[in-house]
Structure 1
Amino acid sequence: MKLVLNTIPIWVTSLTFGISVAQASTSSVKQGATMNRKVGNNFRIPPASIYSLGARIGIGMGFSVLAMTVAAFVESKRLKIVPKEIIHEGKRGPLSMIVFCLAPQYLILGSGDGFTLVGLQEYFYAQVPASMRNLSYLNSFLIIIVDLFGGKGDKNLDW
């Protein structure tokens, strides 16, 4: 009984948080519907999609943009090395650029996955009717089938 009584202050203070979360998924969506949601000439953001920012998904998407920016930077550096080492020097084999230059983009993308995948899982679990949740088993089955039969022709890969 003492443990239950000790949880009451936490429950009471987290009640406000629950109210604010409910506010974000109801009233804020209605507010967004009345605002300018136009992006570019022909695209309008659905008012409920802005809710994804609160469900960690937006943070993860931001990480993915950052990861692709880093990947583009690394690739541009690599492409600058190719003419110098292969064309002018006639070098054969791997470039002098170390493979660990790829690490930052994977670390950033992995961090973004933590936000995005958890957020998407929570979102879809809450939004998908119980009768459609069995489709995730079908999706897993398809991934297994593609994995079994899809990689058979890749004989040139050295891994």
Structure 2
Amino acid sequence: MGVLQQPDGNSNSQDISPRFDRIRLYEQYGAMAYGIILQIIPDPNLAQQALVSLFASPQIEQCLASPSNSPACAIIRLARAKALDVNRVSSSAIGAVFPEQSHVEDGNMGKYIFDLSFNQGYELPAIAERLKISYVDAMKSMRDYFKYLRRP
């Protein structure tokens, strides 16, 4: 009957081992993961499917078992990857194209490039080519946007 025994109570609730409780992990990081997924997938139904897929995946245990990763960072990476996978599948089904930049002002170019890169999964060289700017200018715009975000 040792299979169903409770842990001895010596483990800290903040520690997450390879045999962690998925429900506790979901309760702790689910809202954060869902927020990241919603930035990439605006459809709540698809976003919820990606969230369930994230916490049901075996990659979550592998990623969290690594001592070099914090659980929050690991879940952010996995949430983004899952959302991009779901977004690619749904985008290819409807024949999505690269978003237009006609509404982007010069001051928001860094935000637009960041959105294309992080939220929509485009590679930076492809973004630079599509926007007809140099790779260096695309990197500079994104760096300036990060500096803007870090301002107090």
When normalised by structure 2's length, the TM-score is 0.27
Larger radius of gyration: 1
Query: Higher RCO, 1 or 2 (CA under 8 Å, sep at least 6)?
Result: 1
